[in-house]
Chain A
């Protein structure tokens, strides 16, 4: 009797959990789905109901010089950010894990700090600093800002991987005659590849879809993709924005996904063949 009731209660608890879970997922993904679906809407207005399927908004996007310019700007800023951040992040992580030096704790905290400070504060701060030394807002400032934002994440990823690479590999390489630089290049770096690729992809994404800090830092007349969307929204909610949003989603989700898949197949290749048993 009692047991049956408890079973009943258990079932209800599970149903409730399931219901809440579904609600949360709907809440999270419905706006994204709506954006993607509406980008194919034939209607002039950027909202429901759908009046038919059309690719016209994508066509308009392709013809919009402003949007294309913003896309190109975002793309190359993200690329430069990814490359520079990965180089800085990986070497910093290497130093933090492998060497003992004065102020190591301080450096470790300092490197992570930009991830903890609210982006707006960081954006205003850098702007104030630039004004204080009387420098104009340039593309360089924007790129440096993005690097500042992305470095903590790359350091954290590389550090986690670095801890997993045993020091004994480097010691073996050194004992065999490789200099410290050679042993890093030939042993540590290849073993760090997953962190390098992962860090680069993350840095790219962080830069590519950054909005609030970019608003402060971009030079006059320069738009990145997110700021372009924002300024288009000020005029009207055109279906073109839905198409643009879909492209953004494709890039920011697609690139890490593809990168992850490539990495996975690479490691699979390396692990091909099961370890063999001793034959004697």
Chain B
């Protein structure tokens, strides 16, 4: 299984790999060492360190303006870093111009050359690598087959749909076997149906070719479904890195909990040295703190909407509230529940009996193990 490793806050032990050291088989595909990126006085990225293993699919996820695209562009050399180092395959690239970096880049807006045919677009990178002509034709043909658009060589980009154009852009970026494939929100310009199809396709092609891919998105679903590792970014810094399941199930910070899947956040104070929490709304719930906590300290309890069960059950924790709104989704229903004290919860539960209506009383059950505790600074207690 391809893996991305993070060594936070600093990569590996200092001096393990000297800057500019020769590429080795096990050097990471891309490595950031304490990079800072600033536009004038505005600091877009600060103190960012990350090491990406060869062949893995890593997603930079975050809201717009969090610095994820800036980081991606810094790998390509389209953005200058103000501090730190970027290594590609063990080679320091800070001073290498973009056209010598051997990187495949896919843009949100496709960026196919409008005056060139599909063949010339895809062949562009090969031409500048002095690949002989028959070899170019063979490789372009193969790349077009890979993106399931064989025989489209003579068409112009304007004759293709958005989805087709993005596939050609993908073929153009991988045909010369770059060391890293960078994808800058490649799906956001597509309509919803195409987006899901392309998601599967990109992931499939990445696996087939074994290329290292770095994907930038603000869409949590894309991130969760495609990535080996997700790097959650906020305000120019890394919030958490982990497998999709890790970041979703055990968010490291309040930001991650909220950004991925809109978790419920309940304020409260610790009692029974971390085995229970008295909520601000008055109820007491059992929690399972991984370490003893001082009674009376303030915490936030995070519970995913999917962790609630509706109706009578065997769960330890029980909350009662009033349904504010209910949306029926077929297999499950999403309830907005008022539990008093101006606090509302969101529950996404499978439908066992009938769907409750607005104004009805609802019983919610959940286990202590489903509760994640955050301290006053919004950091997970572990």
Q: Which of A's residues lie within 8 Å of B, judged by CB?
A: 166, 168-169, 171-180, 182-183, 187, 190-191, 270-271, 273-278, 280
CB of B74, distance to nearest CB on chain A (Å): 13
CB-based contact B109/A168 at 8 Å? yes
CB-based contact A175/B128 at 8 Å? no
CB of B66, distance to nearest CB on chain A (Å): 21
CB-based contact A178/B105 at 8 Å? no
CB-based contact A270/B111 at 8 Å? no
CB-based contact A175/B103 at 8 Å? yes
Q: Which of B's residues lie within 8 Å of A, judged by CB?
A: 76, 78, 97-105, 107, 109, 111-115, 124-125, 128-129, 156, 158-161, 163-164, 172-173, 176, 194, 197
CB-based contact A175/B104 at 8 Å? yes
Question: Which chain A positions have C-beta within 8 A of B114?
Answer: 169, 191
CB-based contact B111/A177 at 8 Å? no
CB-based contact B160/A177 at 8 Å? no
Given contacts A176-B128, A190-B115, contact A275 B159 (CB under 8 A): yes
CB-based contact B105/A173 at 8 Å? no
Question: Which chain B positions have C-beta within 8 A of A191?
Answer: 114-115
Among B107, B159, B160, contact of A168 (Cβ-Cβ < 8 Å): B107
CB-based contact A270/B98 at 8 Å? no
Distance A88 CA – B82 CA, assembled complex (angstroms) = 34
Question: Which chain A positions have C-beta within 8 A of B78?
Answer: 171, 174-175
CB-based contact B105/A175 at 8 Å? yes
Distance A174 CA – B104 CA, assembled complex (angstroms) = 10
CB of A174, distance to nearest CB on chain B (Å): 5
CB of A263, distance to nearest CB on chain B (Å): 14
Apart from A175-B78, A177-B102, A180-B99, list 6 A-B contacts with CB within 8 A.
A169-B111, A175-B98, A175-B99, A175-B103, A276-B161, A278-B161
Question: Which chain B positions have C-beta within 8 A of A179?
Answer: 99
Given contacts A176-B125, A278-B161, contact A187 B113 (CB under 8 A): yes
Distance A66 CA – B340 CA, assembled complex (angstroms) = 101
Closest B residue to A165 using CB positions: B114
Closest A residue to B114 using CB positions: A191
Distance A266 CA – B318 CA, assembled complex (angstroms) = 73
Distance A183 CA – B98 CA, assembled complex (angstroms) = 12
CB-based contact A173/B158 at 8 Å? no
CB-based contact A277/B105 at 8 Å? no
